[in-house]
Amino acid sequence: MRKILFVASEGVPFIKTGGLADVVGSLPKYIDKKYYDIRVFIPKYNCMRQEWKDKLNYVGHFYMDFNWQNVYVGIMECIEEGVHYYFLDNEYYFNGDKVYNDDPKFEIERYSYFCKAVLSALPVIGFRPDLIHCHDWQTGLIPVYLKERFGGNEFYRGIKTVITIHNLKFQGKWDVQTVKNITGLPDYFFTPDKLEAYKDANLLKGGIVFADAITTVSDTYAEEIKTPFYGEGLDGLLRARTGDLRGIVNGIDYSEFNPETDKHIVQKYNAVNFRKEKAKNKKALQEELGLTVDDKKMMIGIVSRLTDQKGFDLIAYIMDELCQDDVQIVVLGTGEERYENMFRHFDWKYNNKVSANIYYSDALSHKIYASSDAFLMPSLFEPCGLSQLMALKYGAVPIVRETGGLKDTVEPYNEYEGKGTGFSFTNYNAHEMLHAIRYAEGVYYDKKREWNKIVDRAMAVDFSWKVSALKYQEMYDWLIG
């Protein structure tokens, strides 16, 4: 039985701000329990919902040296859907009313504490993993600490580490002297070949340098991050470690995202009857949002954080033009104020065509996937992306830019060979995007049978966690040997 420990800053169902939580909450469920004992460590945040806090049982506590003080470390646990979760408890570090703090120095301090405390807690819980699977910069110090302070201890010797980069943009950077003080790491670690990058200490870089293997969340993104444009200053290091770097596409949980069983939608449907049944969801959503009720009108859905990364500057540029077409646009999400206001403006200007929902609602997101004919994701970069996987499952044909996971998961429509599950464009250019949208409109309105075949193929692809889990298992076996 191989023992694997996941360490991350968030995980569903306990706490979630983004796609990282979905991976940490879903992947362990699909790893084969016959061969792997897989457990998960996350912080016990004060902002977790009370119903989850009530399920936690006390395991033990101890004090450890950290940042020149003797600091409390509490351990709680619970078993959820067959997976054993541990929670690290410390009022000072995890007491805020939201998961992430706006003070970068405090973030560095609390996740440095988290990394050291997780390693220190292992003997207390009596679990010695063969491999620790770290996620993003918040866990970047685990491979470093393993080499430095824990390496001499028999209990920790030989534990392998892998770090998964979910988004390279976030790295955990601060000035060297402060990080040295907080972490207690000696000068030896703060050199350009280790934790130092461009005069700052960089926690993600430490993880990448010292981990035994590096993964990221799609094949294309694994290639892209070795280039200066996507590499966020670490492309040289990632090129140097190219033999240890691989891409594994995230899956989605089809027990939660499945139009046949979805409790949030008006009319359930599947790949056989979507031609008749899917449109009933569209009419219901049009009524709910005050759009013109017409199930023949092409509806384009957008469910996203409203940020530059997601390509909203392109949408802003052509939105007026797009609203001249015979389409409806339904937006759900929050983010940068200028994009929130941009969509509010177009909702006011084209009230029966555009619906701007500037908040987040899980139920409404499901309704949008189930109602939309097309789903727009023109990202500047997209390590993996989960929305397009959900859109495919619901038969909302994705229109995407060919980057990262979008390129790996959406096959562009080819009218000559009768292939493809969506539409795509290559360059980060607003009119190239508009051309792709209008090409999709043309197929939707003038070649309905072709459109339905695209939907058939989209709903048939398998991006369940089962597929990804096998690839992770392969990597674990290769590392543990």
Question: Is residue 268 in some structural domain?
Answer: no
Residue 379: which region, alpha, beta or left (left: phi > 0; alpha: psi -120 to 50)?
beta
Same domain, 81 and 207: yes
The verdict on residue 104 lying in a domain is yes
The encoded tokens of residue 26 equal 């879903």
The number of domains in the chain is 2
Is 433 in a helix, a strand, or coil? Answer: helix
Domain check: are 439 and 473 in the same one? no
The residue length of the chain stands at 481
Q: Is omega for the bond preceding 192 within 30 degrees of 0, making it cis?
A: no
Preceding omega of 13 cis (within 30 degrees of 0):
yes
Q: Are residues 214 and 342 in the same domain?
A: no
Q: In what order do the strands lie in the sheet with 200-202?
A: 173-175, 200-202, 196-197
Does one domain contain both 112 and 229? yes
256 lies in a domain? Answer: no
Q: Residue 50: count other Cβ atoms within 10 Å of its Cβ.
A: 7
Q: Is residue 116 part of a domain?
A: yes
Nearest to 67 by CA among 111, 98, 14: 111
pLDDT score of 481: 87
- Write out the two tokens for 197: 């990058």
Residue 31 near residue 133 (C-beta atoms within 8 A): no
- Same domain (yes/no): 144, 15: yes
Instruction: Please report whether residue 264 resides in a domain.
Output: no
Q: Are residues 322 and 458 in the same domain?
A: yes
Give, rounded to a whole angstrom, the gap between the first and last alpha carbons of the chain: 13
Query: What is the distance between the alpha carbons of residues 94 and 238, in angstroms, rounded to a whole number?
Result: 32
State the residue for tokens 């996507």. 230
> What are the tens digits of pLDDT across the range 33-77?
999 999 999 999 999 999 999 999 999 999 999 999 999 999 999
DSSP 413: P
- 232 and 298 assigned to the same domain: no
For 387, the domain range is 274-462
CA-to-CA distance for 234 and 246, rounded, in angstroms? 16
Distances 54 to 4, 8, 58 between C-alpha atoms, Å:
26, 21, 11
Q: How far apart are CA 137 and CA 108, in angstroms?
A: 9
Q: Is the same domain home to 76 and 20?
A: yes
Q: Is residue 32 part of a domain?
A: yes
- Residues 284, 426 share a domain: yes
The string of pLDDT tens digits covering residues 322-334 is 999 999 999 999 9
**Would you say residue 261 lies in a domain?**
no
pTM of the model: 0.91
| DSSP β-ladder status, 36-43 and 160-165 | unpaired
Low-confidence spans in the chain with pLDDT less than 70:
none
**CATH assignment of the domain containing 383:** 3.40.50.2000
β-strand partners of 165: 216
Task: Assess if residue 361 is contained within a domain.
Answer: yes
Q: What is the pLDDT of residue 17?
A: 85
